[in-house]
Amino acid sequence: MRVLHIAPAIFGENGVVGGAERYSLELAKHMAAEVPTLFAAFGDHARTEQVGDLPVHVLGPASYVRGQRANPIARSLLAEIRRADVIHCHQQHILASSLASLACRLTGRKVFVSDLGGGGWDVSAYISTDRWYHGHLHISEYSRNVFGHSGKPWAHVIYGGVDTAKFSPCEHVRKDGSVLFVGRLLPHKGIGAAFGPLLSFRAPHDRVTQSHPLNLRRPRHDQHDRIQSRPHSPTQ
């Protein structure tokens, strides 16, 4: 059995540094240790890479649907699908995923999808493409609920997972009780909801620092002065 993961972009310097890109690449990398797996993404130039046991094919030159960088497509996608038995599309509401699901249905291949919060112009804006896929693989129960898939036999929660070899406490780093969140500050992630309890448990002189001054949820008056913003630095 050969598995193909399809994502709009590869994670990293030559792609996109984002949670969806990191998740899809990490999932494919760890799956490659269990079963033959290939990761396909899109870019301005075609190239191949190797990430551990995982071969990575960047399909290009990609075209961007209506100029949307998060909605790429390339002719070579169909060739990658023909070489696989099971396809996992990352992001449902993009043209590449819809075309991949149709190609899989027509050729008898199993196709699954994970909606990771991205999208662009696609046929799914006009008709539901939910059942074009054999299954929806959600990263949380919250995600399954939000997309209206609770109780659906074809919707499953597979969670996000953590690479414990890479993300583990370092015994040489001094611990001062600080909590670090690295990611985009978006309301559905609940970071705003965490400010209140976090400040309640920390000492009065402690402060919360955010790299972007986003007003996710207005804090109580007595907490407002303890939330700082600082300019974002790509090296941080």
Alpha-carbon span 31 to 115, nearest angstrom: 19
Q: Are residues 179 and 226 in the same domain?
A: yes
Same domain, 190 and 135: no
Q: Are residues 192 and 102 in the same domain?
A: no
Query: Would residue 213 count as lying in a domain?
Result: yes
pLDDT at res. 222 = 45
Q: How far apart are CA 114 and CA 138, in angstroms?
A: 6
Is residue 26 assigned to a domain?
A: yes
d(CA 218, CA 82): 51
Q: State whether 189 and 149 are in the same domain.
A: no
Task: Give the pLDDT confidence score for residue 87 in this predicted structure.
Answer: 98
Radius of gyration of the chain (CA): 20
Same domain, 12 and 61: yes
Q: Does residue 118 form part of some domain?
A: yes
In tens digits, what is the pLDDT along the chain, a chain of 236 residues? 999 999 999 998 888 988 899 999 999 999 999 999 999 999 999 999 999 999 999 999 999 999 999 999 999 999 999 999 999 999 999 999 999 999 999 999 999 999 998 899 999 999 999 999 999 999 999 899 999 999 999 999 999 887 888 778 888 888 887 777 777 666 666 676 766 666 565 555 555 555 554 444 444 444 444 445 555 554 44
- 42 plus 117 within the same structural domain: yes
Q: Per the domain annotation, does 27 fall within a domain?
A: yes
Tokens of 112: 């699954």
The CATH number covering residue 134 comes to: 3.40.50.2000
- Of 100, 126, 157, the last residue of a domain is 157
Residues 98 and 129 in one domain: yes
pTM for this model (two decimals): 0.79
pLDDT for the residue numbered 188? 62
How far is residue 176 CA from its own chain's centroid? 31
Answer yes or no: do 178 and 230 share one domain: yes
What is the domain range of residue 199? 169-236
Is residue 162 situated within a structural domain?
A: no
Out of 116, 136, 157, a domain closes at 157
Alpha helices in 117-201 (DSSP H): 141-146, 191-201
Residue 33 CB-density burial (10 A; 0-12 exposed, 13-18 middle, 19+ buried)? exposed
Select from 136, 157, 178 the last residue of a domain.
157
Is-contact 95 71, C-beta < 8 A?
A: yes
| Strand-strand pairing, 47-51 and 54-59 | antiparallel
- Regarding whether 149 and 50 lie in a shared domain, the answer is yes
The helix (run of H) or strand (run of E) holding residue 96 is: helix 95-107
Residues 183 and 73 in one domain: no
Domain count, the chain: 2
Contacts of 203 (CB under 8 A, 6+ apart): none
Q: Are residues 18 and 40 in the same domain?
A: yes
